[in-house]
Amino acid sequence: MASPIRLESETLGLVLRDVAEGDLADISALLADPRVHDSLGAGSVPSTHQQAAEYVERHADARWEPNRTDFVFAVTTAPQSAVEPTPGGIRRNVVGLVELAPGSDGGDAEIGFLIHVDYWRQGISRAAGAAVLKFAFETLALPTVVAKCVLTNTGSIALLLKLGMQRMDDREEPGDDDRPRPYARFQIWPLDPSE
C-alpha cells in the first residue's frame, strides 16, 4: 500500500484519510488539550507544538511506505471548503485521529482514538472506529484488533463495547506521569461470514 488511504464512514458523512502536513494546526490543538490527555491515561501522546509537528511529519511521510503497518487517520467531518465552525467559532478540518498500529508488545494490532472535545458525544468515534475496523479486517485481513482504555473513561469503554469489542481483562501500566493506571483490554475478531 504505497499511496494515501481514504476511508468513508457509513454514517455521519465522515472522511478518514492519512494525516497530511497541512493538518498540523488542528492536530496540535487536539494533542495540546489536557482534557484529551486525561481521558487517555496509559501511554504517551505528544503535547507540545514541536512534538505534534514531529508526529505529523512522521505519519505524513509514512503514508508512502509500501509495507507500512502503522496507520494514522485524520477524521474530518466535511470537505475542507465546507468546514463548519465549532461551538467556539473555530473552523476545524481535522476533528480527531484514529490510529491502527502494531501492539506495543509486538502482538495484536491496536486501535486508538483521539477526538477533539468539541466533538465528543456526537457518534464520531463510533463511526470512525467502525470504518477503521472494517479496513483492518477487510483490507488488511488482520486476525484481531485490541484496544486499551483507562477504567475511569467510561465513555470510551461504552464505545468499545458498541463497536463489538469484548472486554478481555483489566491490567495496569504507567501513565504519562509514571503512576500506575488501571486499564481494561478489549479485543475484536472479524465476523464469520457464515454466522
Give the model confidence (pLDDT) of 141-150 as tens digits: 889 999 988 8
Q: Is residue 44 part of a domain?
A: yes
Q: Which residues contact 47 (CB under 8 A, 6 or more apart)?
A: 31, 32, 37
CA distances from 193 to 67, 138, 166, 185 (A): 28, 12, 19, 25
Phi, psi angles (nearest 5°) of residue 10: -80, -10
CATH of the domain at 21: 3.40.630.30
At residue 167, the pLDDT reads 95
Q: Is residue 147 part of a domain?
A: yes
Distance, in Å, from the CA atom of 192 to the CA atom of 195, rounded to the nearest integer, reads 6
Distance, in Å, from the CA atom of 35 to the CA atom of 14, rounded to the nearest integer, reads 23
Q: Which domain holds residue 140?
A: 6-188
At residue 83, the pLDDT reads 46
Q: Is residue 134 part of a domain?
A: yes
Could you tell me which of 71, 56, 168 has the C-alpha nearest to residue 128?
A: 71
Q: Which residues contact 66 (CB under 8 A, 6 or more apart)?
A: 1, 2
Over residues 12-47, the pLDDT tens digits come to 778 888 888 888 888 888 878 777 766 665 455 666
Q: Is residue 194 part of a domain?
A: no
Residue 113, all three cell numbers: 482514538
For the chain, the C-alpha Rg in angstroms (whole number) is 16
Q: Is residue 66 part of a domain?
A: yes
Q: Which residues contact 182 (CB under 8 A, 6 or more apart)?
A: 150, 151, 170, 171, 172
Residue 78, all three cell numbers: 466535511
Percent of the chain beyond pLDDT 90?
Answer: 19
Q: What is the average pLDDT across 46-71? A: 76
At residue 47, the pLDDT reads 66
At residue 90, the pLDDT reads 47
At residue 29, the pLDDT reads 83
Q: Is residue 195 part of a domain?
A: no
Report the chain's terminal Cα–Cα distance, integer Å: 30
At residue 81, the pLDDT reads 41
Distance, in Å, from the CA atom of 89 to the CA atom of 43, rounded to the nearest integer, reads 31
Distance, in Å, from the CA atom of 146 to the CA atom of 75, rounded to the nearest integer, reads 20
Distance, in Å, from the CA atom of 102 to the CA atom of 22, rounded to the nearest integer, reads 26
Specify the length of the chain in residues.
195
Q: Is residue 99 part of a domain?
A: yes
Domain count, the chain: 1
Q: Is residue 61 part of a domain?
A: yes
Over residues 99-131, the pLDDT tens digits come to 998 765 557 899 988 888 888 888 898 999 999
